[in-house]
Amino acid sequence: MPLGCARTAVLTFALSTLASTAAPAAAGDAEAFYRGRTITLQIGYAPGGGYDVYARQLARHYGRFIPGQPSVVTQNVPGAGSLKLANAIYGAAPRDGTVIGAIGREQITAPLFKVPGAQFDATKVNWIGNLDRAASLAVAWHAAPFATIADAREREMVVGGTGPASTTVVLPTAFNRLLGYKFKVIAGYPGGGDVTLALERGEVQGRFSWSYASIMSTRPDWIRDGKIRPLAASAFERLPEAPDVPTVIELAEREHDKQVIALILAGDVLARPFMAPPELPPERLSALRDAFSATVRDPQFLAEAKQQKLELDPMDWREMTDTIARIYATPASVVEATMTIIQTAAR
């Protein structure tokens, strides 16, 4: 794993216990149901993108760990950034354990932020697991006059960003509005690679939310040779790879501001989520969840993911469900403040 398992869990959780006498019967029921069947893993995006690659990687190995070893096929169901699929899995998909979905990270908070068209309840979805929780850095180019992030409170710092809803744009906007920083955000770069080129050319002085794994796979010499200076980690805990770099949460002093920034980071924490419809038969749901946990520990799966250079930092359904519950328990004032920042970033 590029980032390994050195990062600790974002939030703590209590493990549920199951009655041992019921387990064999439940497993038998699931095995009888799934033997000879096909599970459809629907993907909320067109073929070829990151979510598609991750979902297909899971599908290739997933069925081996489900009782009865059903076939697992993939189906692309693009639309509205995977919101179409999230709605369909929640409302229209068969509730028998034969259909699950891979959706975009931003859809998890879509109902919370009252995104038009969001017609599902994220707290009632049966979450299967999450393949990665991204950790990233805010950096400054070595020639720019910013040794620490505090310098951006004293003078304007030009940072590049991609889409208006991305954390490359929303996070520096939050720092300006909440913490008194002076970031000038140049948004609209087609992708992170374009921001990197802009940094190298001197068009911008820094950037937010640059995946540490991406830095090490594309520009490792920039860290080694000091061409970029890490300013802050977009994470809930300091990165083992950069223990002296403060997190964006640490930089906020007021609890309200910490909660707003944490809410902005929620999508990065739940980077590759998989969902199932509500009201599934319990033994089948357990089988799907247990199979996910087994798959992400499987040496064959891990070796293939490494070969494809896929970042993996899995989260099981318990931690995922608990994380989402905490997100949705965020005070209304914090949600409203976050929505205002997102709207400001989009202008």
Interacting residues of 221 by C-beta distance below 8 A, sequence separation 6+: 227
Please indicate, yes or no, if residue 335 is contained in any of the structural domains.
no
Residues 238 and 218 in one domain: yes
- The C-alpha angle with vertex 185 and arms to 237 and 191, in degrees rounded to 5, equals 75
The neighbour count for residue 226, using CB atoms within 10 Å, is: 9
Amino acid at 304: E
Parent domain of 117: 23-133+270-330
Same structural domain, 206 and 261: yes
CA separation for the pair 38, 26 (Å, rounded): 19
Q: Is residue 108 part of a domain?
A: yes
Domain shared by 170 and 112, yes or no: no
Q: Is 36 part of a structural domain of the chain?
A: yes
Does 143 share its domain with 125? Answer: no
**Per-residue confidence (pLDDT) for residue 18, from 0 to 100:** 31
Please indicate, yes or no, whether residues 222 and 316 belong to a single structural domain of this protein.
Answer: no
> Same structural domain for residues 160 and 176?
yes
**Pair 35, 69: CB distance under 8 Å:** yes
- Co-location of 89 and 209 in the same domain: no
Task: Please check whether residue 342 lies inside any domain of the structure.
Answer: no
Predicted pLDDT at 236: 85
Residues 262 and 275 grouped into a single domain: no
pLDDT band at residue 145 using 50, 70 and 90 as cut-offs: very high
Q: Any idea what the CATH number is for the domain that residue 276 is in?
A: 3.40.190.150
Is residue 282 domain-shared with residue 308, that is, in the same domain? yes
Q: What is the pLDDT of residue 341?
A: 93
Asked whether residue 174 falls in the same domain as residue 148, the answer is: yes
User: Are 38 and 114 contained in the same domain?
Assistant: yes
Q: What distance in Å separates the CA atoms of residue 103 and residue 81, rounded to the nearest whole number?
A: 8
25: pLDDT confidence band, cut at 50, 70 and 90? low
The count of other CB atoms within 10 Å of the CB of residue 206 is: 24
Distance from C-alpha of 284 to C-alpha of 10, rounded to nearest angstrom: 28
CATH number for position 204? 3.40.190.10
Q: Are residues 188 and 118 in the same domain?
A: no
Mean pLDDT of the chain: 89
Q: Name the domain count of the chain.
A: 2
